[in-house]
Structure 1
């Protein structure tokens, strides 16, 4: 797999990855959800290079996965990212037909290495509490739960990556 840092020109490729699993698991996604995701992605792309790196993975020129690394200002919660020691993993997505093939692991390895190279000591992420496959994936990678938001149906996990 080839991984590159995404540019604004890659936004439609990332939307393709999101579309691949729309409605296939969890609560199901609607067309309205996809429109909101596209709006969010557009806003996130404005932070490229400043507060965020977006990675995209390709196999045979097909976009197969994406993940974001956010440095600061996640939901105005310094516990999630503080720009110094704590960064945040956001929107790990793998094309639905390629789940459980190792693509997510490769993307996470790359994001964790980038965070470590920038001097971050800890990574956080938020996962939907109904997404048991994702929860198990992150726990297997060494992430530990530190908070839960029952109202939002989210679990917060973190992992120490530095000394």
Structure 2
């Protein structure tokens, strides 16, 4: 059943909350399919205060919290062309991260966050939204397909010592 979701822009003052949320949701999503060593190695560089400060201070990236009943339930990171991880297409918006805490999954919060990204891209007159998703994350792949995303390529994603493949998906606007 859908719940009311408020989308709130993350600021530098929220960095510790974002860091804790980012690490928790990443480990919850992927630890069961990866080694602790690879997860810890990745997290030691990806989930640091300095890294998040850099990302939050980048004018071409934006983070947003999904808030339900005054509690943070998840987050999304949007990248404008100059901050995109791969394409850097001036006609596209990248969803670099989208995560929902386990206790809020199944309440359409991810759908709400993705709809927010699509609306943001539409408002800014982009031609499409794109993202990368781990090839073994079938639940997420099916979710993105249900929202009109299709595969258009792939790229490597290094998790510790494990080189994995992310499927690149896009949705025209």
Task: Report deviation, 1:11.
Answer: 1.9
1:87 is matched with: 93
Could you report, residue by residue, the CA deviation over 1:113-142 in whole angstroms, capped at 9, with x for unpaired residues? 111111111111000111111111101110
1:69 is matched with: 78
| 31, 39, 47: which one aligns with 1:38 | 47
**1:123 lines up with 2:129 in the alignment:** yes
| 152, 157, 161: which one aligns with 2:169 | 157
Task: Report deviation, 1:81.
Answer: 3.3
Aligned residues: 155
**Matched-pair contact (CA < 8 Å) for 2:22–2:47:** no
3-state DSSP of counterpart to 2:169? strand
2:106 is matched with: 100
Gaps of 5+ in 1: none
| 8, 11, 16: which one aligns with 1:7 | 11
Bigger share in helix: 2
**More off after superposition, 144-153 vs 121-130:** 144-153
**1:145 to 1:24, Cα distance in 2 relative to 1, 3 A:** closer
**1:28 to 1:6, Cα distance in 2 relative to 1, 3 A:** farther
| TM-score for the superposition, normalised by structure 2 | 0.79
**1:54 lines up with 2:66 in the alignment:** no
Gaps of 5+ in 2: 157-162
**More off after superposition, 115-124 vs 141-150:** 141-150
Task: Report deviation, 1:148.
Answer: 2.3
Task: Report deviation, 1:17.
Answer: 2.3
**1:4 to 1:28, Cα distance in 2 relative to 1, 3 A:** farther
| TM-score for the superposition, normalised by structure 1 | 0.84
Give me the CA root mean square deviation: 2.0
